[in-house]
């Protein structure tokens, strides 16, 4: 019988990682309380620390992604115009 891996919600992961950051309980105590492996707590804690800067950089990142999308769309429009002009010249001959 195949055992399916348990999936945890982002809210649960954040709750556990914040509890680990507070250092009010040890990692093994948290693992027992939340019924998960201590390694997972360490991984989630590390991800929270590494990803914290992205929370404050949302505006900059969104603007960069928007500009990249607009640039890609303009590139596609230019390519389509060239193809249209090429095909219309072939029809008029």
pLDDT in tens, 37-70: 999 999 999 999 998 887 777 666 677 788 889 9
33 falls within a domain? yes
Residues 52 and 80 in one domain: no
Over range 71-77, report the average pLDDT.
Answer: 95
87 falls within a domain? yes
Residue 36's SS3 state is coil
What total number of domains does the chain contain? Answer: 2
Q: Calculate the dihedral angle through the C-alpha atoms of 19, 23, 29, 33, rounding to the nearest 10 degrees.
A: -20
Residues 26 and 13 in one domain: yes
Residues 47 and 11 in one domain: yes
Task: Please list, in sequence order, all residues whose beta carbon lies within 8 angstroms of the beta carbon of residue 23, skipping any fewer than 6 positions away.
Answer: none
To the question of pTM greater than 0.75 for the whole model, the response is no
Q: How many residues does the chain have?
A: 93
Residues 50 and 11 in one domain: yes
Q: Tell me, what's the pLDDT at 31? A: 96
Q: Which of 17-26, 51-60, 76-85 has the lowest mean pLDDT?
A: 51-60
The domain of 62 spans 58-93
- Decide if pLDDT at 75 tops 80: yes
50 falls within a domain? yes
* Owner of token pair 């500009």: 67
Q: Tell me, what's the pLDDT at 18? A: 95
Residues 63 and 41 in one domain: no
Q: Which two tokens stand for residue 68?
A: 């990249």
Residues 74 and 51 in one domain: no
Averaged pLDDT score across all residues of the chain: 89
Over range 21-30, report the average pLDDT.
Answer: 94
1 falls within a domain? no
How far does Cα 67 stand from its chain's mean position? Answer: 19
């Amino acid at each position: 019988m195949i055992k399916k891996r348990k999936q945890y919600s982002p809210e649960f992961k954040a709750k556990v990682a914040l509890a680990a950051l507070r250092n009010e309980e040890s990692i093994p105590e948290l693992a027992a309380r939340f019924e998960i492996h201590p390694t997972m707590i360490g991984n989630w804690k590390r991800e929270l620390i590494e990803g914290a800067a992205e929370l404050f950089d949302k505006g900059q990142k969104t603007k960069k992604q928007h500009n990249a999308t607009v640039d890609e769309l303009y590139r596609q429009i230019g390519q389509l115009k060239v193809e249209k002009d090429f095909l219309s010249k072939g029809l008029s001959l």
